[in-house]
Chains A and B, each alone.
Chain A
């Protein structure tokens, strides 16, 4: 953990380091308190998210992949991040007078991975989007229902397995079949997904990372076009 901390130069300031550590250790109470503290010290929501929330989650993801950490530990950190987000909410709301737009997000049916999707949700909220998170194991029908109900600008679909990414195609096909395709921009992402695959299943945007997802959504709303279009 020390190495990971050292690598994050932004954490030189102790106040951000405390939050970083609370996220890494999965201490939700401490994460909430540390967030309140850094906001009082004048850090912006964006700085907090980019420098104290995302880096530890990214380090956790890497260590999970390497078998040094295990799923329950990452889930605890996700919970701590939610604690931090809860504390950030008032700040986010006051920073953004008007909402940029609405995004419906979900992980496909049969897939239970939520860390990447949650981080994208976090990024989008920080940018001023209203995010409707449908959660994990979301069917094509549920995506369609949510589009009808929330009228989002963007639909974000996540899949983390080669066996579940094909579900993305079914979701897009159903959205087309019910005549809603022209009303939404579809953005996809997840470990096995590629730009070629996005093109093949007729998605609009492929985001390789949560940063790209955030930037793509912002570009779309502000300029009606994104460099991540496929």
Chain B
């Protein structure tokens, strides 16, 4: 029996507990092949209830209009733009894990990449909705697409960041889906060949696309993954850059800055990794995958969180410095009077954001904290909640 490949002398093993290939297959397939546990049902029911709340809210918004969240003008986006940016940012960590870490040949990514990619897809589905909901008249959302129409044809404004968004988000969703599914095909084939029940054979037989595991196919599969990773990496950067252009090309003081693209990308990876942590700390417990998503994975991701959190911190401070140093009085007012001043309308939010986004992740400089599941989970929730205050 081939034991899992020996990685390195100085690094801890990627999979705990001396398993052979067959045991790995058994362990990974178990959550799919057995009945869900009680913990799974609890998680599922909570998620469905939250989803119902979301459906009710969105239905209200579509029926009564955007004033449902106290938005009384047609130009501003209100909650939608913050939700949009937040979800897109969450999605980026999944692509980072699957694509950028593949290019960097990081072996540990394989334990978490599929979960992270799935998270990306659902996050992009969530993100993509918000620009549509904020339109108010959602039934004419297709007006944003350049299709031959009876109004001229009148083409959309290709110079506008909002239209860039349409292309960026739809491309990002498509590429994420292709990347995820092409990686999933061999795994589904494994499930298909293990299936005992008739409907499982049928379902996995269709989903596995007739994969056999031929060496020539694997060679093409490897080439495909590498090129898709190489395409997805600049894609992630471009998508969040374009998202930041939604803000940066406006003339709102505090938003009209050139620091936004890099700062948004770092912030996206930061909050996205926090979300991966939130999900994986629960997943490894509920699905009993502790040998595969080890404490080493958690620690490595916490290191990424402290790095990107600090980059975001520098961006905040740069913003503040430029507001004070620059000659633009509106920019100065936006930051020095309206945010740093604790008694101002945005003061409380600004300090919560600074504290939870910049200061609190610094706890991960300590190895003991990085390896503590409870601290990790709490911090990931904190980072995710407070990212909402960024905008």
* Pairing of A with B: no
